[in-house]
Structure 1
Amino acid sequence: MGYFVGIDLHGDNNYIGILDEEDRKVFKRRNRNDINEIKRVLEPYKKEIKGIVVESTFNWYWIVDGLMEAGYQVHLANTSAMQQYEGLKYIDDTRDSFWLAKMLRLKILPEGYIYPKETRSVRDLLRKRMMLVQQRTAHILSMQTMVNRNKGVPISGDTIKKLSNEEVMGMFSDVHLTMSAQCDHEVIEVLNKQIYKIEKAVLKEVKC
C-alpha cells in the first residue's frame, strides 16, 4: 500500500492529509510548524509514503529542507498553476492537503522548482536587488515629475542619478521643493550603494 501526503502550510501551523492508493483518507491532523513534530507524525507511514506535496507559499524553505533531509520525496506545488484542477477538491473537506495529495496520486500535480539550499540565498539576494531597483526607480520618477512640473523641462534618469548635492540644492528656488528633491536624492544615493553591494556579492559568488 502506498501513501500520498499533502501539507497545507500556513504561517504558524500546517495541516497534513494522507491518502492511500484507492483515494481513501487515512490520516488528517493540524500541527505546529515544527519539523520534528511533523516527522513524528509521518513516521508510522514513512516506509509506504510515495511522495509529499508542500504548497509553494512564502515560508516553505524550512519544511521542504527538513523533509528532504529526512529522506522523503518532496514535491513543491505550483499554486498559480493549480486552479484548473479545483474541481478535484473534496466537497466535504475544505483542507487543501487532500487536494494536493490527490493531484500527486493522479500524477497531474503542477510542480515548482525546488532551488538547491546552497544557492537559494543568492536568488533571494537578487530578489532583494530587484525590490531596491524598483524603489530607486520610484524616487527617480518622483524627481523627474517634480522638475518637469515646476520647470517645464525634461530630465533623464541617468542625469538624476549623477546629480551632486550642490546641484540638487540649486534646482529650485522654493525651500519646500528643494527639501522634497533632497529627500528623493538622498534615498537614491543610499539605494545605489546597496544595489552595488548586492551586485558585487552576486558576481563574486558566480565567479566562484
Structure 2
Amino acid sequence: MKLYTGLDLHSSNSYLGIIDETGKRVFKQKLPNERERILEAVKPYQNDIAGIVVESTYNWYWLVDLLMDAGYQVHLANPAAIKKYTGLKFADDQHDAFWLAEMLRLGILPEGYIYPKE
C-alpha cells in the first residue's frame, strides 16, 4: 500500500502526517527537529512511503538532505502556489502536514526545485 507523508517544519519542531492511498490518516506525531527522531518516526513506514512533502520555508535544507540521504523520495512544496487552495484545508500545523500529504496523493502539489547538495 502506498503512503504519502507531509512534514510541517517549524524552527524547533515538526508535525508529521502520513495517509494511505485512500486518504485515511495512518500516523501523526509532533517531533522535535532532531535528525534521529524524524528518521525513527518514518522508518516503520519506509517501504510503503511513495513520497515525503516538506514545505519550502527558511529552514528546509537540512530536512530535505536528511530524508533524501535516507533514500526517501522528497517533494518540496511551493507555499506561494499552495495559496490557491486556501479554503480547501484546515489551518493548523497538524492539519497542514496532512494537507501536504493529501496534495501529493491527489497529484496537485505545487513543487519547488530541490537543488543538488553540491
What is the CA distance between 1:88 and its match in structure 2? Answer: 3.1
Deviations 1:120-170 (A, max 9, x none): xxxxxxxxxxxxxxxxxxxxxxxxxxxxxxxxxxxxxxxxxxxxxxxxxxx
SS of the residue aligned with 1:82?
helix
What is the CA distance between 1:36 and its match in structure 2? Answer: 1.2
**Residue matched to 1:38:** 38
Equivalent positions of 1:67-82 (< 5 A) are 67-82=67-82
Give the 3 Å change call, closer, same or farther, for CA 10–100 of structure 1 in structure 2. Answer: same
Give the 3 Å change call, closer, same or farther, for CA 93–30 of structure 1 in structure 2. Answer: closer
Is the 8 Å Cα contact of residues 67 and 74 (structure 1) preserved in structure 2? yes
Residues in 1 aligned to 2:99 and 2:6: alpha-carbon distance in whole angstroms = 7
Equivalent positions of 1:110-129 (< 5 A) are 110-118=110-118
State the number of aligned residues.
118
**Residue matched to 2:95:** 95
Which structure's residues are more often strand, by fraction? 2
Residues in 2 aligned to 1:114 and 1:83: alpha-carbon distance in whole angstroms = 20
Equivalent positions of 1:53-68 (< 5 A) are 53-68=53-68
Which one has the largest radius of gyration? 1
Alignment root-mean-square deviation, CA: 1.6
Q: Determine what percentage of the aligned residue pairs are the same residue.
A: 59
Which structure's residues are more often helix, by fraction? 1
Larger relative contact order (CA 8 Å, sep ≥ 6): 2
Deviations 1:81-122 (A, max 9, x none): 00112233148985210010000000000000111111xxxx
**Counterpart code for 2:74:** V
Deviations 1:27-72 (A, max 9, x none): 1100010111111000110000000000000000110000000000
**Residue matched to 1:184:** none
